[in-house]
Amino acid sequence: MAGRRLTEPRAAREQGLPAPAGVRIGDVAREVGTTPRTIRYYEEMGLLPESGERPSGRHRLYTREEVERLREVIRLKELLGVTLEELKTLLSAEDARAEVRAQLRRDDVDPARRRELLTEALGHIDRQLELVRHRAQELARLEGELSETRKRARRKIREIDARAGGAFPPQGELDGTREPAR
């Protein structure tokens, strides 16, 4: 679905008018795999830019850049499993870094200002890394807990088998090195 081209509004097509410079919320939601309600909520939370003024009775139209921003918001939320507030912090740091990059691309930035901008960028990167590392630590902790639980379960199965005088399931099935018979 990600590569699908957004549809033009039907009214423009039927009247032979050029397509508006944007896409309606329902089309955006279908393309990125979410709901219009979620998109509106993300706008309210400040994760996406809120719609500007639009004529009464007209639908909000989203630009390609806004659709890509929404796609990135969803990707980061799913990838990191962060709260919306943490996601907002991550995205605001990314936006600030984009502004710094834009300033650094200019040719007329003197070395002292360039150093200030790079130091500012480091601060934003550090905020993002802190959030990502925190998530990585939480995932590592969960992995450790699950591994210990798995070991206990395998040990209990071996104890039951030893009491019963058998060795079923075979050792390889318990440690994941052999596929169970089907």
pLDDT at 161: 87
Residue 87 has pLDDT above 60, yes or no: yes
pTM of model > 0.85: no
Q: Are 117 and 104 in contact (CB under 8 A)?
A: yes
pLDDT for residue 58 is more than 50: yes
Higher pLDDT: 73 or 171? It is 73
Under 8 Å between Cβ of 19 and 12: yes
Q: Note the pLDDT tens digit of each residue in 124-167.
A: 999 999 999 999 999 999 999 999 999 999 999 999 988 887 55
Instruction: Please tell me the predicted confidence (pLDDT) of residue 173.
Output: 57
Q: Torsion over CA of 157, 162, 165 and 169, rounded to 10 degrees?
A: 30
Structure confidence by residue, pLDDT tens digits, 2-51:
444 444 444 444 544 444 568 999 999 999 999 999 999 999 988 988 76
* Arithmetic mean of pLDDT, 74-97: 90
